[in-house]
């Protein structure tokens, strides 16, 4: 595999490394990729990884059935991952917490700095969870948006008819109050015990 054919792998990692508060050190880690097969087209600047695709870079893990990577003439790149579901996981920077995502398809666009999750999309950050038919994430502004499936909206009992979120309260660890030292006892004789 020549250097040019390794470029699309690095591209996928760079696109994923910009997810919400991703571990910054991941960007400098080596990329490890496994697939049943890969097809690289150097002329059209595309590559397709097929069959139990596993991509690891630092704390970032991506599992998909298929990943397609392309580069346009301006040097901007797109990657599309397909699966049942596609799964990604990455440690957040400076926090002992992971971001996990699932969807039937995940599209990443380096020109617009957007990540699109389509089909039973789910995102977990710590104990919080967001579900919808589609989600978009702007890696520059760090804004998430989730939408329901418009075809399922007619049936309120359908799983994709509504966006669902679970936001757990943050548990504050209270520092124990510092106990005040007891006041000194004053002893005064009772008036009935005093002799005249």
How does pLDDT run across 118-154, given as a tens digit for each residue? 999 998 888 889 999 999 887 677 678 899 888 776 6
pLDDT tens digit string along 51-80? 999 988 788 788 999 999 888 877 667 889
Q: List the CATH code of the domain at 3-168.
A: 2.60.450.10
What is the 3-class SS of 51-102, one letter each residue?
EEEEEEECCEEEEEEEEEEEECCCCCEEEEEEEEEEEEEEEECCCCCEEEEE
Q: How far apart are CA 9 and CA 49, in angstroms?
A: 9
Q: Give 148-189 pLDDT, tens digit per residue.
A: 888 776 676 666 678 888 998 887 766 666 667 777 766 666
Which residues pair with residue 100 across a beta bridge? 89, 124
Which tokens go with 89? 């996981």
Note the pTM of the prediction, 2 decimals.
0.69
Q: How far apart are CA 132 and CA 118, in angstroms?
A: 9
């Amino acid at each position: 595999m020549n250097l040019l054919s390794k470029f699309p792998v690095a591209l996928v990692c760079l696109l994923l490394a910009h997810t919400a508060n991703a571990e910054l050190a991941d960007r400098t880690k080596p990329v490890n990729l496994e697939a049943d097969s890969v097809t690289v087209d150097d002329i059209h600047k595309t590559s397709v990884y097929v069959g139990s695709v596993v991509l690891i870079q630092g704390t970032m893990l991506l599992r998909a059935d298929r990943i397609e990577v392309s580069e346009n003439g301006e040097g901007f790149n797109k990657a599309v991952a397909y699966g049942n579901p596609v799964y990604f996981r990455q440690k957040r920077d400076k926090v002992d917490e992971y971001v996990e995502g699932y969807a039937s398809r995940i599209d990443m666009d380096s020109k617009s700095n957007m990540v699109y999750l389509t089909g039973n999309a789910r995102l977990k950050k710590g104990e919080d969870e967001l579900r919808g038919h589609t989600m978009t994430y702007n890696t520059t502004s760090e804004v998430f948006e989730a939408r329901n499936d418009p075809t399922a909206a007619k049936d309120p009992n359908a799983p994709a008819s509504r966006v669902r979120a679970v936001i757990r309260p943050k548990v504050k660890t209270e520092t124990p109050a510092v106990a005040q030292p007891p006041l000194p006892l004053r002893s005064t004789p009772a008036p009935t015990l005093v002799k005249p």
